[in-house]
């Protein structure tokens, strides 16, 4: 089962200069169901795919409101995601207690990244197994960040993480140049389409996705299910039964699932480049 002798704790380097435990944490992000974010000049939209663990259970919440001006979507270990969003909430509350103004998004993201970084340098800790898309608005405009278990963070125009996120990324890469001038509605539409891309043929319904918006004059909020369904219907995002899905989905690997990684099936098991996000 062991991949090599350098992966038993986070603080041990491999001769190739890699920290395997950190890379495994990033792997956990890929196993979580997809989360998508995209922004215009004035708005940021977050979307995620909800997959229930079993037919008998409900799905887990993957989008959290942090403050009126910030929200996150997560992929990976939802439990870690909850802890981190609680941390972010308390940072926002403390900041607005002292300054009576909202915490700039970029600063919160750096604090969050520093918190993740600590876990990559302590022998008694484990990296957070969760990736966060942080959407926010501050005096310098709308922002979308991706926070990685490694402590890296990046600002994006649009991004997708989690299982089968490559399909969404491909879609976003084709379209992102127009996003800056997009209206709120167009952003949501693109978010829905990108979400659908990750479903690989499964029908997009409001019950398997969550959409959240933050923007100028609009506090961060999660759209309710009816609204999302109306939007799906209005945009006719329902996939017509045209071409059959390219490849029938390989069934989930039963044993290899990291316990607790949220729901979705493992797809590609290819080698990860060192420190690739």
Site residues (vs other proteins, CB under 8 A): 65, 68-69, 86-87, 89-91, 93-94, 96-102, 104, 106-107, 110, 138-140, 217-219
Gap between the Cα atoms of 252 and 128, Å rounded: 24
Q: For helices 184-197 and 225-235, give the axis angle rounded to 10 degrees.
A: 90
Where are the strands (E) in 100-189, listed by range?
A: 130-138, 141-147, 153-155, 158-161
Residue placing its CB nearer to other proteins in the complex, 140 or 247: 140
Q: How far apart are CA 157 and CA 169, in angstroms?
A: 11
> Closest CB to other proteins among 222 and 252?
222
Q: Decide whether 93 or 180 has the Cβ nearer to other proteins.
A: 93
Between 112 and 130, name the residue whose CB sits nearer to other proteins: 112
Residue (87 or 156) nearer to other proteins, CB: 87
CA distance 277 to 266: 17
- Least separation in angstroms between residue 70's CB and other proteins is 12
Q: How many CA atoms lie within 13 A of 166 on its CB side?
A: 6
Distance in Å, CB of 164 to other proteins, minimum: 29
239 by Cβ neighbours in 10 Å (0-12 / 13-18 / 19+) ranks as middle
């Amino acid at each position: 089962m062991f991949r090599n002798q350098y992966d038993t704790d986070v603080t041990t380097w491999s001769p190739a200069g890699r920290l395997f435990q950190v890379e495994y944490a990033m792997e956990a992000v890929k196993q979580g169901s997809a989360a998508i974010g995209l922004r215009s000049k004035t708005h940021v939209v977050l979307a995620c795919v909800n997959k229930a663990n079993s037919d008998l259970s409900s799905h887990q919440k993957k989008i959290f409101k942090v403050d009126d001006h910030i929200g996150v979507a997560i992929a990976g270990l939802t439990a870690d995601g909850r802890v981190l969003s609680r941390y972010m909430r308390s940072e926002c509350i403390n900041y607005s207690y002292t300054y009576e103004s909202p915490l700039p998004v970029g600063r919160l993201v750096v604090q969050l990244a520093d918190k993740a970084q600590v876990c990559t340098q302590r022998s008694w800790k484990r990296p957070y197994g969760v990736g966060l898309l942080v959407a926010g608005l501050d005096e310098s405009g709308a922002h979308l960040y991706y926070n990685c278990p490694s402590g890296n963070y990046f600002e994006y125009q649009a991004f997708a993480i989690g299982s089968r996120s490559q399909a969404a990324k491909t879609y976003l890469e084709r379209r992102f140049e127009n996003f800056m001038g997009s209206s709120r509605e167009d952003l949501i539409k693109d978010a829905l389409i990108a979400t659908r891309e990750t479903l690989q043929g499964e029908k997009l319904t409001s019950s398997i996705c969550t959409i959240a918006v933050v923007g100028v004059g609009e506090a961060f909020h999660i759209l309710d299910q009816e609204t999302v369904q109306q939007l799906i219907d209005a945009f006719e995002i329902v996939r017509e039964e045209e071409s059959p899905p390219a490849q029938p989905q390989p069934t989930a690997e039963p044993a290899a699932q990291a316990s607790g990684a949220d729901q979705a099936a493992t797809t590609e098991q290819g080698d990860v480049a060192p420190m690739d996000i």
